[in-house]
């Protein structure tokens, strides 16, 4: 039974608004070379992608990125590289899904309906192959046994193909994050936090009231209209003489 915290995280992830840079259908076109690498050497690609998702800081590594009950209980702090190697080889599917959730929660990326259909088809095919294997073992029919083997082979091919496309999708998204498409690289976040869509929009920065108009002095236009600021006293005015000429006035006794 999943915990309430896990269900809350799933609910928040459904409300994310950003999209992947490329969907699963076009990953092979976006980076054909890496898709082939992820297909033939999936655990190596998963190791490199998880390390890159952590900004190459293995001190931040937690088993399955903190999304599984075993996270934080496998001695990751003592030897994170060895624990990551163990995770990608023994729990390959969980390692790919954990890197995906890590990127989604960091950048508020939703999963498109097309991606959900592809992932759901992969899971349904695996379940169908498992059911046919159980029925073939119980009944003992040669035809059902052959059908179960074909379904198992098909489910494995689909599983490997979808995981390779998923890891290519993660790689392309981190290329976008690191500025390989022309944008400025993003800074390393201090802690992994989940943002919520229902947070209020912060008010725009600025003054609440317009700035007062510039004061005009001595009939001069303000400086912002292309005229120099007036000097005081004006340069044309001579300095005052003291005592003024004609003092004392005539007619008054000295």
Per-residue pLDDT reduced to its tens digit, 74-96: 778 889 999 999 999 999 999 99
Closest to 100 (Cα-Cα) out of 50, 59, 66, 63 = 50
Count the Cβ atoms, other than its own, within 10 Å of residue 31: 17
The mean pLDDT value for 119-129 works out to 89
Greatest CA span in the chain, whole angstroms? 146
- Residue pLDDT, tens place only, 8-24: 776 777 778 898 998 88
Q: What pTM was computed for the model?
A: 0.66
Query: Residue 47: pLDDT above 60?
Result: yes
Residues 6 or more apart whose Cβ sits within 8 Å of residue 185: 177, 178, 179
pLDDT of residue 38: 95
Residues 6 or more apart whose Cβ sits within 8 Å of residue 34: 45, 167, 168, 171
Percent of the chain exceeding pLDDT 70 equals 67
Q: Distance (Å, rounded) from C-alpha 204 to C-alpha 202?
A: 6
Q: Can you list the positions of beta strands (E) in 52-167?
A: none
Element (H, E) at 189: none
* Residue ranges per structural domain of the chain: 4-177
Residue 54 has phi, psi (to 5 degrees) of -90, 15
3-class DSSP state of 102: helix
Residues 6 or more apart whose Cβ sits within 8 Å of residue 128: 151, 155
Question: Average pLDDT of the chain?
Answer: 76
pLDDT of residue 248: 54
Query: Residue 221: pLDDT above 50?
Result: no
Of 172 and 217, the structure prediction assigns the larger pLDDT to: 172
Q: What is the DSSP letter of 228?
A: P
Percent of the chain exceeding pLDDT 90 equals 33
Residue 201 banded pLDDT, cuts 50, 70, 90: very low
What Rg, from alpha-carbon coordinates, does the chain have? 35
The mean pLDDT value for 28-39 works out to 93
Residues 6 or more apart whose Cβ sits within 8 Å of residue 188: 55, 57
Residue 106 CA from chain centroid, whole number:
5
């Amino acid at each position: 039974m999943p915990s309430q915290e896990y269900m809350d995280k799933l609910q928040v992830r459904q409300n994310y608004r950003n999209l992947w840079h490329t969907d699963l259908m076009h990953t092979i076109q976006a980076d054909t070379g890496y898709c082939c690498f992820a297909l033939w050497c999936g655990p190596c690609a998963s190791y490199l992608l998880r390390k890159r998702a952590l900004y190459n800081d293995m001190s931040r590594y937690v088993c399955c990125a903190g999304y599984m009950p075993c996270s934080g209980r496998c001695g990751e702090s003592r030897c994170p590289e060895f624990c990551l190697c163990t995770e990608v080889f023994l729990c390959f599917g969980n390692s790919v899904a954990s890197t995906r959730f890590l990127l989604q929660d960091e950048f508020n990326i939703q999963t498109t309906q097309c991606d959900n259909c592809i992932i759901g088809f992969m899971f349904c095919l695996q379940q169908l192959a498992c059911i046919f294997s159980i029925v073939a073992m119980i009944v003992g029919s040669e035809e059902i046994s052959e059908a179960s083997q074909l379904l198992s082979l098909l489910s494995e091919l689909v599983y490997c193909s979808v995981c390779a496309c998923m890891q290519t999708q993660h790689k392309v998204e981190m290329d976008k994050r690191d500025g390989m498409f022309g944008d400025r690289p993003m800074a390393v976040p201090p802690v992994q936090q989940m943002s919520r869509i229902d947070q209020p929009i912060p008010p725009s920065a600025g003054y609440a009231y317009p700035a007062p108009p510039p004061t005009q002095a001595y009939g001069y236009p303000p400086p912002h209209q292309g005229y120099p600021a007036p000097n005081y006293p004006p340069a044309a005015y001579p300095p005052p003489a003291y005592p003024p000429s004609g003092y004392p006035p005539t007619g008054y006794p000295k």
